Amino acid sequence: MDPTAPRRRWGWGVAGETPDADAVAERKAYLEDALGFPELSVADPVPLAEATVPEPGLAVPDRLAAFCSADRAARARHTYGMAPPESIRGFHGDFAPAPDLVATPRTEDEVAETLAWATEAGVAVSPVTGGTGVAGGTGPPQGDLRERYAGTLALNLRELDQVLEVDETSRAARIQGGALGPELNAQLREHDLHLRHYPQSYQLSGLGGWIATRSGGHYATRYTHIDEFVQSVRMIAPAGAFETQRLPEHGAGPDARRLVCGSEGALGVITEAWMQVEPRPAYRSAAAVYFDGVEPAADAIRAIVQAKLTPANCRLHDRVETSMYGLQDLDRELVVLGFESADRPTDPELERALELAAEHGGECPDGPDHFGPGYGRDRPADSDVTRWGQAFQMGEAAGAEVALGVVSGTVETAVTWDKFPEFNEAMVSALEDAAAEVCGMGHVSTRFTHVYPDGPAPYYTFMAPGAEDPEERIEQWSTIKQAGLDTVMEFDLTPTHHHAVGRDHRDWYAQQIPENYDEVLRAVKAVLDPAGVMAPGVLVDPPE
């Protein structure tokens, strides 16, 4: 997938408006045959010419004219992120909340100029890098909140896509916020370095968005969030540039970096960051381990991380999930373990992990694979480990599900090990019950995306046959998702481990945070964004 190609308007992908026909047919057969969905009809996306895209309410201001437009296609493409309701509405041609303007600043000064103009004009600014967010935090404000602004502008960072400086000694690189994953790593490769952070959206998302949303990446343990790689960060706020020092670590007051990480565009635009980078791994060990049940698999993973083994890959997929992704006859839980190193063989770590897994009933019939030094693509293409690597690329399937009218979504959280078994049971039931109630049936799978010594980050996917009418289908999605989030809150957990708060998780975020923390965030926003123009409604409300 070429990250620089024009994006699909209504969801994941770059390949035009219509989802890949083979992917749709494959998905349709699978949902009907394997999951027992009723026969699904295939809809076509509404072409742009027939879509609802309101006329822009603002003219392009002179001072932004060199990098700002009111082009209809661009405005449609900047209306949404990739939350399910957004994809459904976009597919069916509803771009009612389209921004009035799309700015694509080419320099940091042009970012500052845009924010200065927006602050004076009272125009809401929605910063976007890759636009792949799934929490409703990407597009312009809607409804009553929209009415408070003179207009809306999407600020696309994609022109700021350069690696500006590399410090090979300290293994750090200064990277612009608009650089997408493949772009920044292509530039770092010239220095035999890379940024080892691969969120599932890696190909179409970029650094600024990752930091703004505290994205969860490649590493299942230890370096799970992008936060761990941020050496320093520079954000352009309406009040001015906010730049932290370039330091390995410090203990001077509350860490200002941590205020920028997770700020979701509500405080400013992340234009660049010094990131910790590293050589590509030269050694790797991996294994697929099977368990009879989520609990023994979770116990094995707990033993592994509490032994302070730090697998790069440590994913649990329950039997529903393995079924959803093509191993219908497995009927067991799967744990994929992978260790990697740029320095030395990782065999001892994997072997110790397999011993601990075996103590909890884990079986590894094919034995471990060890690679290196300089391993390439020498893993058999049909190995389970390879297959699970590929299954992780879910983009086209998501588009196919929109075309097929499927209600699908995710709920993710983090939970301490002591609560996990009870929580897991409650969550699967809540999602299944809600799906049965509103869709007649539904499948719910459990995965661990990341794990910590004190608990896992479980990730639930639900899939159900949806109503033909888009708004009705969104209502179904919303009911199921809310049942999941309410269960999260019954156990006093977080509505997001790495998908961010956006607008969709606000009600549950309000229950999560400490008393007075909303007021703290509003006070911080009042300093950095006094007119309240940045990403209105995302994370925190603008000042009254």
Residues 11-70 contacting a second copy, CB under 8 A: none
Number of helices (H) and strands (E) in the chain: give both, helices first.
17, 16
Report d(CA 441, CA 480) in Å as an integer.
11
524 is a contact residue toward a second copy (CB under 8 A): yes
Report d(CA 394, CA 396) in Å as an integer.
6
Q: Tokens 């994941």 sit at which residue?
A: 12
Taking alpha carbons only, the member of 422, 440, 423, 449 closest to residue 480 is 440
Report d(CA 206, CA 132) in Å as an integer.
9
365 is a contact residue toward a second copy (CB under 8 A): no
513 is a contact residue toward a second copy (CB under 8 A): yes
Least Å distance, CB 454 to a second copy, is 4
Looking only at residues 333 through 362 of this chain, which bind a second copy when binding is defined by CB under 8 A? 341-344, 348, 352
User: How many residues form the binding site for a second copy (CB under 8 A)?
Assistant: 93
Least Å distance, CB 288 to a second copy, is 23
Closer to a second copy by CB, 75 or 234: give it.
234
Find the part of the chain contacting a second copy (CB under 8 A) among 66-74, 282-290, 367-375, 518-526.
518-526
Report d(CA 221, CA 219) in Å as an integer.
5
DSSP secondary structure string, 161-204? --EEEEETTTTEEEEETT-BHHHHHHHHHTTT-B-----TTTTT
539 is a contact residue toward a second copy (CB under 8 A): yes
Lookup: tokens for 458: 């479980």
Q: What is the DSSP secondary structure assignment for residue 373, as one 8-state letter?
A: S
Distance of CA 253 to the CA centre of its chain: 30
Find the part of the chain contacting a second copy (CB under 8 A) among 24-32, 38-46, 88-96, 168-176.
168-176
242 is a contact residue toward a second copy (CB under 8 A): yes
263 is a contact residue toward a second copy (CB under 8 A): yes
- Are 431 and 69 spatial neighbours (Cβ–Cβ below 8 Å)? no
517 is a contact residue toward a second copy (CB under 8 A): yes
Taking alpha carbons only, the member of 149, 154, 151 closest to residue 139 is 154
Report d(CA 499, CA 497) in Å as an integer.
6
197 is a contact residue toward a second copy (CB under 8 A): no
| Strand extents, DSSP E, 121-255 | 123-128, 151-156, 163-167, 172-176, 230-237, 240-243
Closer to a second copy by CB, 63 or 344: give it.
344
Closer to a second copy by CB, 361 or 421: give it.
421
Alpha carbons within 13 A on the beta-carbon side of 143: 4
Among 88, 220, 237, 335, binds a second copy (CB under 8 A): 237
Looking only at residues 144 through 163 of this chain, which bind a second copy when binding is defined by CB under 8 A? none
Report d(CA 62, CA 504) in Å as an integer.
35
Closer to a second copy by CB, 121 or 524: give it.
524
251 is a contact residue toward a second copy (CB under 8 A): yes
Find the part of the chain contacting a second copy (CB under 8 A) among 52-60, 112-120, 300-308, 384-392.
300-308
Closer to a second copy by CB, 116 or 513: give it.
513
167 is a contact residue toward a second copy (CB under 8 A): yes
Which amino acid is present at 333?
E
119 is a contact residue toward a second copy (CB under 8 A): no
Instruction: Tell me how far apart the terminal alpha carbons of the chain are, to the nearest angstrom.
Output: 44
Looking only at residues 397 through 416 of this chain, which bind a second copy when binding is defined by CB under 8 A? 413-416
231 is a contact residue toward a second copy (CB under 8 A): yes
373 is a contact residue toward a second copy (CB under 8 A): no
Binding mask 459-498 for a second copy (x = CB under 8 A): ---------------------------------xxxxxxx
Buried b (16+ CB within 10 A) or exposed e, 462-501: bbbbbeeebeebbbbbbebbebbbebbbeeebbbbbbbbb
Least Å distance, CB 298 to a second copy, is 11
Give the β-pairing of 283-291 and 333-341: antiparallel
Closer to a second copy by CB, 156 or 213: give it.
213
Find the part of the chain contacting a second copy (CB under 8 A) among 54-62, 286-294, 307-315, 369-377.
307-315
367 is a contact residue toward a second copy (CB under 8 A): no
Alpha carbons within 13 A on the beta-carbon side of 133: 34
Among 91, 325, 371, 509, binds a second copy (CB under 8 A): 509
240 is a contact residue toward a second copy (CB under 8 A): yes
Q: What is the DSSP secondary structure assignment for residue 189, as one 8-state letter?
A: H
Closer to a second copy by CB, 91 or 417: give it.
417
Nearest-10 crossing angle of helices 84-91, 395-403: 60
Helix H, strand E, coil C: the string for 441-452 is CCEEEEEEEEEE
98 is a contact residue toward a second copy (CB under 8 A): no
- Are 370 and 344 spatial neighbours (Cβ–Cβ below 8 Å)? no
Among 324, 500, 533, 534, binds a second copy (CB under 8 A): 500
At 371, give phi and psi (nearest 5°): -130, 150
- Are 531 and 238 spatial neighbours (Cβ–Cβ below 8 Å)? yes
Find the part of the chain contacting a second copy (CB under 8 A) among 48-56, 83-91, 126-134, 515-523.
515-523
Closer to a second copy by CB, 71 or 278: give it.
278
Among 87, 126, 132, 215, binds a second copy (CB under 8 A): 215
457 is a contact residue toward a second copy (CB under 8 A): yes
306 is a contact residue toward a second copy (CB under 8 A): yes
Closer to a second copy by CB, 227 or 369: give it.
227
Closer to a second copy by CB, 373 or 440: give it.
373
Q: Give residue 198's region: left, alpha or beta (phi > 0; psi -120 to 50).
A: beta
